[in-house]
Amino acid sequence: MATGMSLTLCFLTLRHKRPKARYIIWPRIDQKSCFKAMITAGFEPVVVENILEGDELRTDLEAVDRKMQELGAENILCVHSTTSCFAPRVPNRLEELATMCAKYDIPHVVNTAYGVQSSKCMHLIQQGARVGRIDAFVQSLDINFMVPVGGAIIAGFNGSFIQEISRMYPGLPHPGCAHHPAHPGGQRLQETPGRAEEGEGDSKDKSIQVKLRSFQNGACWLLLLK
Ligand SMILES: Cc1ncc(COP(=O)(O)O)c(C=O)c1O
């Protein structure tokens, strides 16, 4: 369950809440696994091209807004945005996208594959969740935590949604690091009692838990290895 499959799991979980939805609005990023994540989940990606501002490719907010109106909110599963990416594309305008998602009542899933390493990306997520709507954000374990088998952390600000995703997962979340106990409204991240804390875990567990502290953003999380 690396980033792409974890995104698929988020989309499949949202499907139960939005049975009519067929489309995912996706500000373009040229990375295959996040594109395939939408197809695998059975949705039609609606690609919104970025606009060139100076030497940067930035989110075309007007085009996203037009698509939301054109397709109709109930037909849209979510907006699938991205923080970390390759230049010249800069992170999506998360605050504005999150605000639009809240306005139209459309879920918002953020691919932040590399983002947990970047205070700028984490700040964008915090701000987005503060001013608007972010339902889940997904970060890669192999990229950020050097986990050799691949994996991802699905995090969010609503404990019950993260639990729903956890229930959809056809396997067990990582022992000792399962989702954070339900906390409506999102409390600050706390470590779940796990092997690492008890001193029985391997050093990888420990390093993941230590790094998770750096979220500091009120998120709850679900750790998926393999
Ligand atoms: C934006 C983006 N999404 C997803 C991925 C895939 O991440 P993973 O290695 O966890 O599958 C990458 C990896 O380069 C990426 O850059």
For 54-107, write each residue's pLDDT tens digit: 999 999 999 999 999 999 999 999 999 999 877 888 999 999 999 999 999 999
Categorize the per-residue pLDDT at 200 as very low, low, confident or very high, splitting at 50, 70 and 90. very low
Output the pLDDT for position 85: 79
Q: Do residues 53 and 88 touch, judged by C-beta distance below 8 A? A: no
Categorize the per-residue pLDDT at 23 as very low, low, confident or very high, splitting at 50, 70 and 90. very high
User: Is residue 157 packed enough to be buried (19+ CB in 10 Å), middle (13-18) or exposed (0-12)?
Assistant: buried
> What is the domain extent for residue 194?
3-225
Output the pLDDT for position 145: 77
Ligand 1 atom having least distance to the Cα of 143: 9
CA distances from 136 to 21, 66, 195, 200, 202 (A): 18, 23, 26, 30, 28
- How many CB atoms within 10 Å of residue 202? 9
Distance CA 223, CA 221 (A): 7
Distance CA 45, CA 47 (A): 6
Which residue has tokens 């608007």? 132
Tell me the pTM. 0.82
Output the pLDDT for position 118: 86
Ligand 1 atom having least distance to the Cα of 140: 10
What sign has the CA pseudo-torsion 79, 84, 89, 91? positive
Distance CA 196, CA 202 (A): 7
Categorize the per-residue pLDDT at 209 as very low, low, confident or very high, splitting at 50, 70 and 90. very low
**Ligand 1 binding residues, C-beta < 6 A:** 2-4, 29, 31, 33-34, 82, 84-85, 111, 113, 140, 142-143, 152
Ligand 1 atom having least distance to the Cα of 29: 1
**What CATH number is associated with residue 197?**
3.40.640.10
Q: Determine the distance separating the centroid of ligand 1 and the alpha carbon of 165, expressed in angstroms.
A: 20
> Which residue has its alpha carbon closest to ligand 1 atom 2?
113
Our measurement of the distance from residue 30's CA atom to the centroid of its chain's CA atoms, rounded to an integer in Å, reads 17
Question: Tell me, what DSSP letter sits at residue 181?
Answer: P
Q: How many CA atoms within 13 Å lie on the side-chain side of 204?
A: 14
Mutate to test the pocket of ligand 1, among 92, 141, 143 (most ligand atoms within 8 A of CB): 143
Distance CA 145, CA 116 (A): 10
> Which residue has its alpha carbon closest to ligand 1 atom 3?
113
Categorize the per-residue pLDDT at 220 as very low, low, confident or very high, splitting at 50, 70 and 90. low
Categorize the per-residue pLDDT at 185 as very low, low, confident or very high, splitting at 50, 70 and 90. very low
Q: Determine the distance separating the centroid of ligand 1 and the alpha carbon of 36, expressed in angstroms.
A: 11
> Which residue has its alpha carbon closest to ligand 1 atom 13?
113
Output the pLDDT for position 149: 76
Q: Do residues 122 and 94 touch, judged by C-beta distance below 8 A? A: no
Count the domains in the chain.
Answer: 1
Distance CA 205, CA 186 (A): 23
Which is higher by pLDDT, 198 or 121? 121
Q: Mean of the per-residue pLDDT values for the chain?
A: 81
Ligand 1 atom having least distance to the Cα of 84: 1
Distance CA 160, CA 153 (A): 16
